[in-house]
A and B are shown apart, each in its own frame.
Chain A
Amino acid sequence: MEPVLLSSGLVVDFGHIRAVDGFDLSVGAGASVALVGRNGAGKSTTMRVLAGVLPPTAGTVTVRGVDARTDSAGVRALVGYCPDVGGLIPRATPWEHLQLSAKLRGIADGWQSRARELLEMFELDAAADRITAGFSHGMGRRLSVVLAVFHQPALLLLDEPFDGVDPLGVEATLRSVAAAREEGSAVLISTHLLDLAVQACEEAVVIKAGRVVGAAPANDLVGEAGRARYRALIT
């Protein structure tokens, strides 16, 4: 069966700096992969390319067979993306974000019930009409996850979704990831929180200097031995 996400020889250069250096990855339907690595390893840049926000310098990305180079909008229609920082229009409310997402994604009327359900699940229903500029960091993260899962994407990309989020928010995110996998979505989570990566994903891919340096079942990174293995890979 064709994987949902297929990235091959992905390269991203910023001037003379190579941020991503031949990134290869394949994620199948219903699978979840954690992208782990140190700060500056190239995780967020890779996620941005996979989300169709940043064009790659070289290499290919396909989502359900749609090539990001030739049909960027087609790929973006299949992807739900939670950016690493912010990711919210500062003076719009959560409800307005969902309204905008529904309109730009061409989702027919009736999306409101799912929107309400998600806001409730992430305990943002009371803040649905508040301007997001006044949100705490954790609230912003939770809303970004809501926006990423809202349209039940084929590929869910979550960049640091647990960063600064309280335990209830983490639980809601984990439940969303599980639900997305059940619906057949491929999930890729970039995080530096190894314990949560292990909880959310079945496989972990270690990235260093923009390239994959190791992959293992997520459970293999648990415990002292797992941590030692992880440290050996990232240093």
Chain B
Amino acid sequence: MTGGVRQLRALIWIRWRMIRSTGVRAGLLVSGVVVVALLVLMVQSAPLLSSPALVAAVALAPAAYLGFGVLAVVAPLTAGGGVDVVPASQLVAYPVRPATQFLGGLVLAPVNLVWIAQLLTLAAESTYLTVDGHRLSGGLVTTLFVMCVTVLGQAVAWSVVGLRQSQRGRRLVGVGGAAVLLCAFAVIRLDRTDEVVAHSPTALVVRAVGTRIDLGWITTVIVLAGLIAAGVTLGGRACAWALQRPADVGAPSLDRRVSRRRARPTAYAELVTTDRASVWRASALRRGGLVLLLLPGLMAIGAAISWESLAVLPGLVGAGAGLLFGVNAFSLDGSGAVWLASLPHDPLVGARAKVRVLAETVLAASVIAVVAGSLRSPGTPTATQVTAIVGSVLASCSLIVATCMAMSVRHPHRADLRGPRDAVAPPGALAAASARLALPAGVLGLGFAGMSASGIWWLPALLCVPVMVGAAIWLRRSLVRYGRPVVRAQVVATVSAG
């Protein structure tokens, strides 16, 4: 592991040097400071909470800790084991150890808006649980818990990657995944979520956070510390096993044959079909898309969200869909962008095809989440609630598509998307993009949620129409910008580099 730490230090240094813009470097440092400031703010503001609010917040603690645990497993699973500090394809000539790769994934786990949001939630819960004055011991347990589930989550993810290299392993993972989904569905259907949360191992952690230093607290700390140590060792080995295990013939491979399709009637339709295939055939995007289609819907069903709150969902889920490839949409063409640019067509037709595929993805993810969430929403929705949900879907999707295309034109990145751990942008850029997508979409969702309680059915439309018009104008501006030969050449040169 010592060698791994040394290599990791070198990789982080080179990654940092790869960020050419001083503004981006400053932004990343400021983001770190902001997160720390928010953590301090959370801790300091806890005593200001009223007594009933405090009781309600404390009641949510087991679910919050369990939610973090689920995220810690799902996030690296979605990323194919963990995020690479430097893309693996750029390191093939160097003797980078699997332990380095594993530790790199751990270091980059916090560079994720959802992880940070959940961490802030846990910090708040930890403070609420220790409001009577044993913050340090409670904070230590929470910190160890966060480290523990992050390490174990990565270890599980690498084990799954290794298992999936053989046909039997893929079957096992498939059956296991289906069993987990079925169990989750059964728990929700039988209305046993509270019981599951109360009996989950995280309930013990919550108890340790909330108590003073006693035997239970000491045991929890020792167990968590032991799990961290074991997780780091086993995770490194799981990573080595997964990376060295040869894939069998049935394993997903780049070298695969696809069935020939008929030519589409127009150039636009041909480009749309090509872009859809570029998304679906990239293992990283396919896996991310599937998780995005299944997970929010399942969580929404589990939470039995009220009709008012349902309006918050489309923006948050849509932002996740935008992060799949939308924030760097032109990277779908890879090095083929140069060849495409040499063909005699209106480049805006190509850009519009990407807008279409992006809009389809964002809309599909949002609608599926809303429909799934509505299955357990109590009662029948009022006309205002329906218009608020529809307005939220339309407005947030428009805003996300416009934001994504603006970022794609202004800040393109080279993204290979060959491997299962490849992403459309470097980790820091993705974290910044997730903030730029999720924060406005979240605020917009809250606005619609507020309006759905107003009882005036046309009020959401008053918010939806100007947002959609504004997004359309913004999108048009981005396309006009892309239409300029110099800007387009920069985008093409960047996404096709290497």
Does B263 reach chain A (CB closer than 8 Å)?
yes
A85 touches B335 (CB 8 A): yes
B345 touches A90 (CB 8 A): no
- Tally the A-B contacts, defined by beta carbons under 8 Å: 127
Q: Given that A92-B278, A103-B263, A129-B258 are contacting pairs, would A79 and B336 also be in contact in the complex, using a CB cutoff of 8 Å?
A: no
Minimum Cβ distance to chain B for residue A123 (Å): 16
Q: Given that A73-B345, A89-B334, A102-B263 are contacting pairs, would A129 and B339 also be in contact in the complex, using a CB cutoff of 8 Å?
A: no
* Residue of B271, B336, B339, B493 with highest tally of chain A CB at under 10 A: B339
A81 touches B342 (CB 8 A): yes
Scoring A residues 86 to 119 as 1 if CB is less than 8 Å from chain B, else 0, what string do you get?
A: 1111111101110111111110000000000000
Contact check: which of A85, A134, A144 meets B498 at CB < 8 Å? A85
CA distance A106 to B344 in the complex (A): 9
Minimum Cβ distance to chain A for residue B480 (Å): 16
Contact check: which of A48, A74, A97, A99 meets B338 at CB < 8 Å? A48
A91 touches B338 (CB 8 A): no
Does B492 reach chain A (CB closer than 8 Å)?
yes
Docked complex: A30-74 residues within 8 A CB-CB of B:
48, 51-55, 72-74
Minimum Cβ distance to chain B for residue A125 (Å): 13
* Segment of B248-256, B361-369, B394-402, B471-479 in the binding face: B248-256
Does A169 reach chain B (CB closer than 8 Å)?
no
B278 touches A87 (CB 8 A): no
A54 touches B343 (CB 8 A): no
Does B264 reach chain A (CB closer than 8 Å)?
yes
Does A77 reach chain B (CB closer than 8 Å)?
yes
Q: Given that A86-B338, A134-B255 are contacting pairs, would A103 and B277 also be in contact in the complex, using a CB cutoff of 8 Å?
A: no
A74 touches B344 (CB 8 A): yes
Contact check: which of A72, A100, A101 meets B485 at CB < 8 Å? A72
Does A142 reach chain B (CB closer than 8 Å)?
no
CA distance A134 to B416 in the complex (A): 12
Does B486 reach chain A (CB closer than 8 Å)?
yes
Does B417 reach chain A (CB closer than 8 Å)?
yes
Minimum Cβ distance to chain A for residue B331 (Å): 10
Does A179 reach chain B (CB closer than 8 Å)?
no
Minimum Cβ distance to chain A for residue B275 (Å): 9
CA distance A106 to B263 in the complex (A): 12
Does A83 reach chain B (CB closer than 8 Å)?
yes
Does A181 reach chain B (CB closer than 8 Å)?
no
B418 touches A51 (CB 8 A): no
A88 touches B344 (CB 8 A): no
Does B50 reach chain A (CB closer than 8 Å)?
no
| B-binding residues in A (CB < 8 A) | 48, 51-55, 72-74, 76-77, 79, 81, 83, 85-93, 95-97, 99-106, 128-131, 133-134, 144, 147
| A-binding residues in B (CB < 8 A) | 253-261, 263-264, 266-267, 270-271, 274, 277-278, 281-282, 332-336, 338-346, 416-418, 485-486, 489, 492-493, 496, 498
24 A-B pairs within 8 Å (CB atoms) are namely A48-B338, A55-B485, A74-B344, A83-B335, A83-B342, A85-B335, A86-B334, A90-B335, A90-B336, A90-B417, A91-B334, A92-B278, A96-B277, A97-B336, A97-B339, A100-B270, A103-B266, A103-B267, A104-B267, A104-B271, A104-B343, A105-B343, A128-B260, A134-B256
